[in-house]
Homo-oligomer: A and B are copies of this chain.
């Protein structure tokens, strides 16, 4: 299947996300190759902790302690920077670019502060610097904003783009905790770092909304002009009062393109602060460490993108999507950069579509029955005979006083079993009509 050799990747930094990237690339190698048309392999890793790095990668990659070796290695096609921070990372990324390497990075801090220079150098060298993982983890929000909504004059972007603070705010609301208690909780569960400043002060969200604002409105990156307020001062009483008024408090990154008005100039609002959001909005219902970004365009209207904003594998998902993007660009005929059906035509597989009688679902059943003792026992007996267990039951008086509706939620079972159980139930003399069956999916 592979017309070309593997794309060779050098990884700078193999902490949590680096390890996730290494592991997902290996685990899904076949799937990724079927999409990108050639395999993507991490051949070299640099990390200050060489021993730990070796323990992770085994024989599968060469490990060194100095990233400079990797960014100048002529055998490396793409450099993945997962070191973080502003200094070493920036120097290595600029060196990689100068050496004509494509770069994939998850480093929002570096891009928010040095992005203009980095992108200018990359354009000069004709290389890509891809950064899907820098904003909202696994959610493909950069691709959506930059490509999916390209028809639109984007009017506003607002996002829950820091999982730590969203977790803290969710705890404050659900458990009535104060900020400090909720923070301690988040730290105990690994959702907040020992020094949580960047998260709770809103700096991390500000890095991200600054990048999104540039993508949305076509302006240079201007992190220093972002207004930033965190959640440290927030008191539980305000969370409660907001709730009474029909609102929830979320830390939002907000970017608004304001047209000139009689009472104000045209410009861009760029701010991060705790925000009351109506409880009925989807964004208000994004709980725990999840992220979501709302983008409004003049043509598309309101769109929302939801998913995990952090964590090893969700972030790795974004890093690897960027790698596939670069690999496709390096490889396939430009007329067919992305295959029509996502996978290379010769890589489509023949996994069968199962007939419906092999489908598996939980079910809702409504059974009209005579109001007599023992009916429910016989119905559940038929289900038990078919190997189907019951999740919940409800018995309701029907309009006709001799009739009752029995409503059952069953556990997951296959279609054949549920149909044979329904047949047996409908044959009961105390069952007064056809059983209504609606499938049920937990989606979680």
The answer to whether B334 and A334 touch across the interface, beta carbons within 8 angstroms, is yes
The answer to whether A270 and B353 touch across the interface, beta carbons within 8 angstroms, is yes
The answer to whether A441 and B276 touch across the interface, beta carbons within 8 angstroms, is yes
Alpha-carbon separation in the docked complex, A232 to B405 (Å): 21
Alpha-carbon separation in the docked complex, A307 to B292 (Å): 13
Q: Which of A99-153 contact B (CB under 8 A)?
A: 115, 119-120, 122-123, 126-129, 132, 138-140, 143-153
6 nearest interchain CB pairs?
A140-B148, A151-B320, A218-B343, A303-B307, A138-B300, A225-B353
Query: With an 8 A cutoff between CB atoms, is A333 at the interface?
Result: yes
Query: With an 8 A cutoff between CB atoms, is A65 at the interface?
Result: no
Q: Beyond A120-B345, A144-B140, A219-B350, is A24–B151 a contact (Cβ under 8 Å)?
A: yes
The answer to whether A28 and B140 touch across the interface, beta carbons within 8 angstroms, is no
The answer to whether B28 and A151 touch across the interface, beta carbons within 8 angstroms, is yes
- Please name all residues of chain B whose beta carbon is closer than 8 Å to the beta carbon of A120 when the two chains form the complex: 345
- Please name all residues of chain B whose beta carbon is closer than 8 Å to the beta carbon of A351 when the two chains form the complex: 217, 219, 257, 266-268
The answer to whether A352 and B303 touch across the interface, beta carbons within 8 angstroms, is no
Mark A208-238 against chain B: 1 for CB-CB distance below 8 A, else 0.
0000011111111110011100000011011
- Size band of the interface chain A makes with B: 35 or more
- Please name all residues of chain B whose beta carbon is closer than 8 Å to the beta carbon of A270 when the two chains form the complex: 353-354
Q: Beyond A218-B347, A268-B351, A342-B146, is A28–B152 a contact (Cβ under 8 Å)?
A: yes
The answer to whether A227 and B307 touch across the interface, beta carbons within 8 angstroms, is no
- Please name all residues of chain B whose beta carbon is closer than 8 Å to the beta carbon of A153 when the two chains form the complex: 27-28, 31
- Please name all residues of chain B whose beta carbon is closer than 8 Å to the beta carbon of A234 when the two chains form the complex: 438
The answer to whether B329 and A267 touch across the interface, beta carbons within 8 angstroms, is no
Given contacts A28-B152, A265-B358, 11 further A-B contacts (CB under 8 A): A25-B151, A27-B153, A27-B298, A119-B341, A140-B148, A152-B317, A219-B349, A269-B353, A300-B318, A301-B313, A305-B305
Query: With an 8 A cutoff between CB atoms, is A396 at the interface?
Result: yes
Query: With an 8 A cutoff between CB atoms, is A52 at the interface?
Result: no
Alpha-carbon separation in the docked complex, A439 to B272 (Å): 10
The answer to whether B314 and A129 touch across the interface, beta carbons within 8 angstroms, is no
- Please name all residues of chain B whose beta carbon is closer than 8 Å to the beta carbon of A305 when the two chains form the complex: 144, 303-306
Most chain-B CB neighbours within 10 Å: which of A122, A153, A443? A443
- Please name all residues of chain B whose beta carbon is closer than 8 Å to the beta carbon of A274 when the two chains form the complex: 438-439
- Please name all residues of chain B whose beta carbon is closer than 8 Å to the beta carbon of A25 when the two chains form the complex: 151
Alpha-carbon separation in the docked complex, A342 to B341 (Å): 24
User: Can you spell out 21 A-B residue pairs with CB atoms less than 8 angstroms apart?
Assistant: A27-B298, A28-B298, A31-B153, A127-B335, A147-B321, A147-B342, A149-B321, A150-B342, A214-B342, A215-B342, A219-B348, A234-B438, A241-B364, A241-B366, A258-B360, A278-B444, A294-B443, A299-B313, A300-B318, A301-B313, A304-B304
Query: With an 8 A cutoff between CB atoms, is A207 at the interface?
Result: no
Write the chain B residue with the least CB distance to A327. Answer: B150
Write the chain B residue with the least CB distance to A295. Answer: B307
The answer to whether B148 and A238 touch across the interface, beta carbons within 8 angstroms, is no
Quote the shortest CB–CB distance from A138 to chain B (angstroms): 4
The answer to whether B307 and A441 touch across the interface, beta carbons within 8 angstroms, is no
Q: Which of A235-294 contact B (CB under 8 A)?
A: 235, 237-238, 241-242, 244-245, 247, 249, 252, 254, 257-258, 263-271, 273-278, 280-283, 285-286, 294
Query: With an 8 A cutoff between CB atoms, is A182 at the interface?
Result: no
The answer to whether B28 and A299 touch across the interface, beta carbons within 8 angstroms, is yes
Query: With an 8 A cutoff between CB atoms, is A3 at the interface?
Result: no
Quote the shortest CB–CB distance from A165 to chain B (angstroms): 14
Q: Beyond A321-B147, A324-B150, A333-B126, is A238–B436 a contact (Cβ under 8 Å)?
A: yes
Write the chain B residue with the least CB distance to A228. Answer: B356
- Please name all residues of chain B whose beta carbon is closer than 8 Å to the beta carbon of A329 when the two chains form the complex: 334-335, 337
Query: With an 8 A cutoff between CB atoms, is A325 at the interface?
Result: yes
Binds B, one of A6-14, A32-40, A171-179, A418-426: A32-40
The answer to whether A300 and B313 touch across the interface, beta carbons within 8 angstroms, is yes
